[in-house]
Amino acid sequence: MSDIAIRAEHLAKQYKIGVGKHHNTLRDQLVQGVKSLFQRNGRPHPGKESIWALEGVSFEITDGEIVGIIGRNGAGKSTLLKILSHITEPTRGRAEIYGRLGSLLEVGTGFSYELTGRENLYLSGAILGMKNAEIARKFDQIVAFAEIEQFIDTPVKHYSSGMYVRLAFAVAAHLEPDILLIDEVLSVGDLAFQRKCMEYAKRLQEQHTTVLFVSHNMFAIKAMCNRVIYIADGQVRFDGVPEDAIQLYEQESRLDTAPWAQQLVSADSSQCPIYLTDIELYDEDGQTRTVFDYGDRMRVRLTFEAPHRVMNPNVNVSFIRSDNVACCNYNMTMDGFILPSLSGSATIELLTPPLKLVAELYTMHVMVWDTKFEKLYSAQIGMTFHVRHQVLNTHFGVFHETAEWFWHTSESVCPQISVGLVGKSP
């Protein structure tokens, strides 16, 4: 029987609204202690001023498992990791960690802006529990992994967010922990670095390291994890096979505001000036479909609600591949379609050109901009669909269009048009 690496028993965490979620400094803890003297039994008063970020969360994770944690923003994922890493204490319940713990919960946690990358590497390593000799021994390996060799003696205040997270992840990973907790920080890095981190996590698994990984990137979750815990409203909604967890999450997250847009528009899509209330996919003949063959055309039927009149809305539909690559975009402005205004309920239909995307799973994102792409009104996650082809896949890139080929001889140039991979798969 495998040993337990993490055990959570009935974890619950209550916060006071408007007080601030974290009491990590000595000053914060002293203030809270004084306040508790004036509260009966030292407990926070429940009511409208309090929220439960977690309620009754229980699970066990065994040595060597790579477990994904998914859920909408505000579901309680980051709170759970902060409790497990002892950054904050639970209101109720208990968490047990068995082994050396490494955590990467916020970009550059423990970094000092005025110090160089080299100095911060030693500082961060010490905070994580590494001995000075261990840091020195692994220094070159950490810097090479972070890909910041030429900037290692530059103050980190001059680093980009991507450089920041690469160094932070490299230090945490090379701690050689028994257990590694990773929050959404990998979304800051570029796609190549994300893949590098996923490969490294797989190597950690081979060394029997336990990894708990929070992400909105379902491609990363599927690639890295052999089990997924889906948290909704502070409770475990599902715990099991990644494919089933992701399917449930995507089904329940349909029409949510896209995570990247929540700081630009309201996290609650219904509070936007215009928002999507329904989305339907059909083939060219009007039959409901979620699987399309290469070369098919797709009808996308969008139903919007605009509580107040929006002038010249520019509706955009983007297809995002499962590895988070934005593959194409259709929008009214570039396609020469003018909609003077929109108010109340309205249905808009898009008929795509023949789909030339490679075979993969795609998620549709629906955005409404102004005609100059300067003001964003809403950005929501739509449906997922598959494109099929018997040959074309992601090894061939994003799409395939037939080219014209020619062969040359010493005497002449002879045109030869190749039909290539044109046509639908059976």
Cβ-Cβ contacts under 8 Å for 25 (sequence gap 6 or more) = none
Rounded Cα distance between 145 and 302, Å, is 45
Q: What is the structure's pLDDT at 23?
A: 45
Q: Do 292 and 354 meet the contact criterion of CB atoms below 8 Å apart?
A: no
- Which tens digits make up the pLDDT trace of 98-132? 988 877 776 555 678 889 999 989 988 887 778 89
For every residue of 192-246, DSSP letters joined together read: HHHHHHHHHHHHHHHTT-EEEEE-S-HHHHHHH-SEEEEEETTEEEEEE-HHHHH
Report whether pLDDT(420) > 60.
no
DSSP 8-state assignment for residue 208 = T
SS3 (DSSP) at 191:
helix
Report whether pLDDT(370) > 90.
yes
List where CATH 2.70.50.60 sits in the chain.
259-396
Which CATH entry fits the domain spanning 259-396: 2.40.50.140, 1.10.260.40, 2.70.50.60, 2.40.40.20? 2.70.50.60
List where CATH 3.40.50.300 sits in the chain.
4-253
Q: What is the structure's pLDDT at 18?
A: 57
- Which tens digits make up the pLDDT trace of 270-329? 899 999 999 999 999 999 998 999 999 999 999 999 998 999 999 999 999 877 789 999
Rounded Cα distance between 133 and 43, Å, is 45
Rounded Cα distance between 399 and 107, Å, is 34
Rounded Cα distance between 221 and 70, Å, is 8
Report whether pLDDT(423) > 50.
no
Rounded Cα distance between 377 and 356, Å, is 29
- Which tens digits make up the pLDDT trace of 10-54? 999 998 865 544 444 444 554 455 444 444 444 444 445 788 999
Fold topology of 4-253: Rossmann fold (3.40.50)
β-pair partners for 404: 417
Q: Do 217 and 186 meet the contact criterion of CB atoms below 8 Å apart?
A: yes
**H or E, element range at 148:** none
Q: What is the structure's pLDDT at 352?
A: 96
The residue ranking higher by pLDDT, 183 or 423, is 183
Rounded Cα distance between 39 and 48, Å, is 16
SS3 (DSSP) at 402:
coil
Q: Do 366 and 382 meet the contact criterion of CB atoms below 8 Å apart?
A: yes
Cβ-Cβ contacts under 8 Å for 114 (sequence gap 6 or more) = 155, 157
Alpha carbons within 13 angstroms on the beta-carbon side of residue 235 total 4
The residue ranking higher by pLDDT, 361 or 276, is 276
Rounded Cα distance between 173 and 197, Å, is 9
**What count of other Cβ atoms lies within 10 Å of the Cβ of residue 271?**
12
β-pair partners for 51: 15
Q: What is the structure's pLDDT at 185?
A: 60
**H or E, element range at 327:** strand 326-331
Q: What is the structure's pLDDT at 45?
A: 47
β-pair partners for 379: 367
Alpha carbons within 13 angstroms on the beta-carbon side of residue 234 total 14
Q: What is the structure's pLDDT at 188?
A: 53
The residue ranking higher by pLDDT, 38 or 252, is 252
Q: Do 272 and 304 meet the contact criterion of CB atoms below 8 Å apart?
A: no
Q: What is the structure's pLDDT at 170?
A: 83
Q: What is the pTM of this model?
A: 0.65
